[in-house]
Amino acid sequence: MIQTLLNITLSALGTTLSMPGYLYGGFVFIALIPLFFALEKKRPFTSAIITFVYFFLFSFINFHYLINTLTTGLPELFGRFGASTGFAVYLLFGILEALPFLLFGFLYGLWLEKTRLRLFEPLFVGSIYVISDYLRGIGDLGFTGGRLSDALYNFKGLIQILPYTGTLGLVFIVVVVNYESYKLLKKNKQNIVLVLSVVALIFLLNGIVESFLPKSVGDKPVVLAQTNMPQKVKYSYEASEIVKYLQDSFSESHNYLTIFPEGVFPGTDIRNSEIEKSLLETFKNRIFIIGFPTLETKDAYNSAVIYSKGTFLNKYDKVQLFPFVETLPYKTIFGRLEFLKGMYYFSSGEIKTFDIPGYGKVGIQICFESFFPYISRKLSEKSEFLVVITNDGWYNSKIPLIQHFAQAIFRAVETRRNVIQVSNTGISGVVDEYGNYTILPDGTAWRTLYVKSNTQNTFYTKYGDYIVIACLLFNIITGITAKKKSSLFD
């Protein structure tokens, strides 16, 4: 039991240290080896518990920065709950993240040792992991942060597989490498040299592919306007003070398409107000995108509003809302968590693109929507480049900022679209279609960067997460052809 817990903990720590913002992404190719040792000779229900505990520990450690947000940030701003309640919500988050991995462990213990061919083993393990990870990202509680692929955001050679498979294809490869490494070490501990050689070969392949990647040069100037406004300050300012700050900080920026972050006016719909009039007068010679809530007759929306040379052009309303804070999912189950609400409970908008004069078709996403590949895929079908506006001012750590910006890199390579991300106090920059990026230095208010358009759709854009269906079919075949039945418990 102690050895099993130790192996689970080692895998959770190893996976965490490979994530963006921690130590080194290459650790992900060996991080799961202790987990597979923990699963040795375990029956389905025991295996399910082991993999659940692994992913819970990983989520608890990796997303530790949310503890401060839930125990300090939100209570101080909205005052609806205390620190202990916030920590309990964080534990609930970890449990919800880990639940799909009950399936991974159960199927691992049920069928792995009964596969007909040795070749099928790593394919089966990779398939059930992919399915579990996919399930974690769907529905009103879905979230894709913490995928094994996240570790490789800076491995520009390896991520060139994304236009064909998406990040789940990369997850599949990582799991297969870990499993085969485990099998080598199980056979002979001295095979550690061989395992490390295989990993080194992967790194070499990454470097070779990266060396052949073309340099992408943009030709459309865009002003990234990072407001750098701490959360406490932003929520305490009157709308008139915020517009004065924008005028002082950005009126001298170039008259190109200007992109401001999400929620610049956090609680105020400034449309048809003196605030809007003052803002439009300041930026009357340009097109700009700015985030604030828009209130309709019965609904509120988290919006990115587009203005064109002094007039309202259009707006995008956030589609994938943050559970509990922006929307209350599954009210019959989680109705008592309504106290987590931010300024409003928002209604969901529609995925759509916008024709911006001089820039073509543009797709806009808000905040953590960049974690969801399906939104970028749908947008890129008709857009020439993508924009992400966000407010990452909730965090007192660099780790969540890096993990969020990493998603812009994945979405750019998957769709072969330039992606612009503009944050409040987070990371703002431009990512090209190969994963190269330029970011604003810390403390920079604004900078003009360049993007280029692309209208060709990738294989992944057209067919999405087809790999999940392939994995599901393979699992069904594995189950049907399993050698024999066994008990579900040890």
Of the residues 262, 276, 369, 384, only one is catalytic, namely 262
| 3 state SS of 422 | strand
Rounded CA gap, 465 and 447, in Å? 36
Of the residues 234, 318, 384, 471, only one is catalytic, namely 318
**Cβ 307 vs Cβ 283: under 8 Å:** yes
| 3 state SS of 395 | coil
Of the residues 42, 367, 378, 433, only one is catalytic, namely 367
| 3 state SS of 227 | coil
What single letter denotes the amino acid at residue 451? V
Rounded CA gap, 443 and 336, in Å? 40
Residue 262 bears catalytic tag: yes
Q: In what order do the strands lie in the sheet with 429-431?
A: 353-356, 360-366, 385-390, 419-423, 429-431, 437-439
Residue 367 bears catalytic tag: yes
Residue 369 bears catalytic tag: no
Rounded CA gap, 329 and 338, in Å? 10
Rounded CA gap, 169 and 382, in Å? 24
* Tokens coding 387: 């924009």
What CA–CA distances, in Å, run from 122 to 40, 44, 48?
A: 15, 18, 18
* Tokens coding 158: 């390896």
Catalytic residues, by residue number, are: 262, 318, 367
